[in-house]
Amino acid sequence: MRDEGIDHDLSCAGHEAGGVTEVPIFDERAIRGVITPAGAVSVIRDAFRLDGEGKTNVPPVINLEIASARGEFHIKTAHIEGVRHIAVKIASGFYDNPAKGLPSGSGLIAVFDAGTGLPAALLLDNGYLTDVRTGAAGAVAADVLARERVGTVGVIGSGVQARHQVRCLRVVRSFSHVIAWSPTRSRLEAYANELRQDRLEVTLASDARQVCETADVLVVATPAREPIVRAEWLHPGVHVNALGADSPGKQELDANCLARADVVVVDRRSQCAAFGELKHAIDGALIAASGTVQLGEILAGHHPGRTTDAQITIADLTGVGFQDTAIAAAAVAALA
């Protein structure tokens, strides 16, 4: 994969004058072969910068809850000025699937030519691109908000995103120790064993509080609908990536966490105000949406982000459609 970020010169695949030829289909194995954590971080950093420069057009997310199966669908899309392709991503999360021997997340992405509207490719990624672009967004947020020296990364959760967050975070920060907690002990132990294979020292925490009080960078990656992290557990200098509140009704942070933070960063202000951690803080009259900073504003140089080592910083990451267009365009560029 190209490291320079989004490919602005990607030619239209599968089209010819007068109609549409067969649209290429790429599977998960091929996509994994060209989209690495380092490459994803480069692409997503570039995408947030372009967003901060006002070069994205992002419609509202379609969220569909399947309460009877403890599942959900998200449909996201966006146009990025200068990028030849637009992605329409359908992602699912069904949280009882692991007990059935199935992955909790899946999905696919349809890619279209931004100049003609014609189909360019179908990416049968099984949710991989969503997973890696979410991990990359956490790394980009931590790169501008976490302290330069990171000794311990704390992780609450033991699912797919807990893995991608750590892998992508290693692109922007050097660390050797992870402390993790999850309510399901067997999954936590399996997660710890994977991290140890990546040559990381891992401590299994007794509860979420121990993770919060130990971490220099705290990753919260769960489908929780009740707060897990309390404001009083956050210590000066910690940076928090909160990822789980990506649809209505979800919440991982006590709303007072955002009130206590010195800098609250959102991936998309309107989206986070609608269903991210920010919504709960707004509902409690603890913080106004205007008191937050969009991550793209920092990448574009309009806001400094963290300014002292003692600040508490929080990134509320709900996942934005321009991330999907960016990562899908990069995948097609590498595979075409």
Instruction: Give every CB contact of residue 198 below 8 A, 6+ residues apart in sequence.
Output: 166, 167
Number of domains in the chain: 2
Looking at the fold, whether 115 and 207 belong to one and the same domain comes out as no
Q: Is the model's pLDDT at 13 over the cut of 70?
A: no
pLDDT, mean of residues 18-36: 89
Q: How many CB atoms lie within 10 A of CB 264?
A: 24
Q: Is the model's pLDDT at 105 over the cut of 60?
A: yes
Contact 276/270 with Cβ under 8 angstroms? no
pLDDT, mean of residues 257-274: 97
CA distances from 208 to 82, 156, 253, 254 (A): 43, 7, 11, 13
Contact 177/201 with Cβ under 8 angstroms? yes
pLDDT at position 258 is 98
CATH code for position 52 = 3.30.1780.10
pLDDT at position 336 is 84
Q: Is the model's pLDDT at 1 over the cut of 60?
A: no
CATH code for position 225 = 3.40.50.720
Looking at the fold, whether 299 and 326 belong to one and the same domain comes out as no
Looking at the fold, whether 48 and 30 belong to one and the same domain comes out as yes
Pairing outcome for strands 62-66 and 71-80: antiparallel
Question: In the chain, what percentage of residues exceed pLDDT 70?
Answer: 94
Looking at the fold, whether 120 and 149 belong to one and the same domain comes out as no
Looking at the fold, whether 177 and 275 belong to one and the same domain comes out as yes
Query: First CA to last CA across the chain, in angstroms?
Result: 12
Distance CA 190, CA 57 (A): 40
At 122, give phi and psi (nearest 5°): -120, 125
Looking at the fold, whether 95 and 151 belong to one and the same domain comes out as no
User: pLDDT tens for residues 285-329?
Assistant: 999 999 999 999 999 999 999 999 999 999 999 999 999 999 999
Instruction: Give every CB contact of residue 122 below 8 A, 6+ residues apart in sequence.
Output: 23, 24, 25, 26, 108, 109, 110, 111
pLDDT at position 19 is 55
pLDDT at position 20 is 56
Q: Is residue 9 part of a domain?
A: no
Distance CA 207, CA 240 (A): 17
- Three-state secondary structure call for residue 72: strand
Contact 67/331 with Cβ under 8 angstroms? no
How sure is the predictor about 92, in pLDDT bands with cuts at 50, 70 and 90? very high
Q: Is residue 10 part of a domain?
A: no
Looking at the fold, whether 282 and 171 belong to one and the same domain comes out as yes
Q: Could you list the residue range(s) of the whole structural domain that residue 36 is in? A: 15-129+322-335
Name the residue type at position 89: K
Contact 10/332 with Cβ under 8 angstroms? yes
Looking at the fold, whether 304 and 330 belong to one and the same domain comes out as no
Q: Is residue 306 part of a domain?
A: yes
pLDDT at position 288 is 96
Note the helical H segments in the chain.
28-34, 37-52, 128-145, 160-172, 185-197, 208-214, 256-260, 269-275, 277-283, 295-299, 321-335
Q: Is the model's pLDDT at 17 over the cut of 80?
A: no
Q: Is residue 138 part of a domain?
A: no
Q: Is the model's pLDDT at 15 over the cut of 60?
A: no
Q: Is residue 238 part of a domain?
A: yes
Buried/exposed code over 107-135 (b: 16+ C-beta within 10 A; e: otherwise)? bbbbbbbbeeebbbbbbbbbbbbbbbbbb
List, by residue number, the catalytic residues: 89
Q: Is the model's pLDDT at 3 over the cut of 80?
A: no
pLDDT at position 8 is 38
Q: Is residue 300 part of a domain?
A: yes
Q: How many CB atoms lie within 10 A of CB 2?
A: 13
Q: Is the model's pLDDT at 4 over the cut of 50?
A: no
Looking at the fold, whether 265 and 203 belong to one and the same domain comes out as yes
Looking at the fold, whether 328 and 293 belong to one and the same domain comes out as no
Overall pTM surpassing 0.95 (yes/no): no
Q: Is residue 134 part of a domain?
A: no
Looking at the fold, whether 100 and 154 belong to one and the same domain comes out as no
Tokens for 83, please give them.
């990028």
Q: Is residue 6 part of a domain?
A: no
Q: Is the model's pLDDT at 10 over the cut of 70?
A: no
Looking at the fold, whether 22 and 54 belong to one and the same domain comes out as yes
Which of 323, 336, 335, 329 minimizes the C-alpha distance to 113? 329
User: pLDDT tens for residues 155-206?
Assistant: 999 999 999 999 999 999 999 999 999 999 999 999 999 999 999 999 999 9
